[in-house]
Structure 1
Amino acid sequence: MATTQECRDALDRLSDNLAKADDGVRGATALDRSLSCHVTDLDTTFTGRLRNGRIEVSGRHEGPPREKAQIRLAMSGDDLVALVDGELNFAKAWASGRVRLEAGVRDLLRLRSLL
């Protein structure tokens, strides 16, 4: 089982990957939206913003998200690490329910290019 620190590190690597991505991916993530990532098996939520193609983690607390972020992710810690490491396909994980992504319709349409 992934640790809280491994999950935090995975979010940092994801942010770095988004910043280095090609124009198409950077364009899809060039939003300014609140973001939460609930790591279900650790019952920990990371909060922050998706801004200028980067994820800025600003906090962590125990339990589910306290506020409804504009973009909400939920998954196990192992799945988060596997996604960032390229070992788990996001679209397949989302379709099977291993990963939950909730956002407004416009944001989902912009983020679809990441799938």
Structure 2
Amino acid sequence: MATTDECRGALKKLSDNLSRADGDVRGAVALDRSLSCHIRDLDITFTGRLKDGRIEVADTLEGPPRGKAQIRLAMTGDDLVALVNGELNFAKAWASGRVGLEAGFRDLLRLRTLL
């Protein structure tokens, strides 16, 4: 089971990857939205923003998200690490329910290029 620090590191790596992206991916993440990532097996939530193509983690909270972020992710720590390391396909994980993604319709349309 991935630790809190490993999950935080995975989010940092994802942020670094997104900041170096170009083309359609860069356009998809060029949003300014509140973001939460609930790690189900650790029962913690990382909160912050997706801004200028980067994920800025502001806080780590015990339990599920307290507020409703504009983009909400939910998964296990191992799945987060596997996604970031390219070992788990996001679209398949989302379709099977392993990864939860909730956002407004327009944001989902923009984020679909990441799938």
Asked whether 1:87 is paired with 2:50, we answer no
Say which SS state the counterpart of residue 41 (structure 2) adopts.
Answer: coil
Say which SS state the counterpart of residue 46 (structure 2) adopts.
Answer: strand
User: Structure 1: which amino acid aligns with 2:94?
Assistant: W
* In 1: Cα distance, 2:19 partner to 2:61 partner: 26
The structural deviation recorded for 1:22 is 1.7
Q: Which residue of 2 aligns with 1:59?
A: 59
Q: Which residue of 1 aligns with 2:13?
A: 13
Sequence identity, in percent?
Answer: 79
User: Structure 2: which amino acid aligns with 1:12?
Assistant: K
The structural deviation recorded for 1:23 is 2.1
* In 2: Cα distance, 1:8 partner to 1:74 partner: 14
* In 2: Cα distance, 1:77 partner to 1:109 partner: 26
* In 2: Cα distance, 1:33 partner to 1:4 partner: 23
Q: Which residue of 1 aligns with 2:25?
A: 25
User: Structure 2: which amino acid aligns with 1:98?
Assistant: R
C-alpha root-mean-square deviation of aligned residues, in Å? 0.4
* Number of aligned positions between the proteins: 115
The structural deviation recorded for 1:24 is 1.3
TM-score, with length taken from structure 1: 0.99
User: Structure 2: which amino acid aligns with 1:61?
Assistant: L
Q: Which residue of 1 aligns with 2:45?
A: 45
Q: In structure 1, list runs of 5 or more residues that go unmatched.
A: none
* In 1: Cα distance, 2:70 partner to 2:64 partner: 15
* In 2: Cα distance, 1:52 partner to 1:26 partner: 9
Asked whether 1:34 is paired with 2:42, we answer no
Q: In structure 2, list runs of 5 or more residues that go unmatched.
A: none
* In 2: Cα distance, 1:22 partner to 1:107 partner: 18
Q: Which residue of 1 aligns with 2:112?
A: 112
TM-score, with length taken from structure 2: 0.99
Say which SS state the counterpart of residue 12 (structure 1) adopts.
Answer: helix
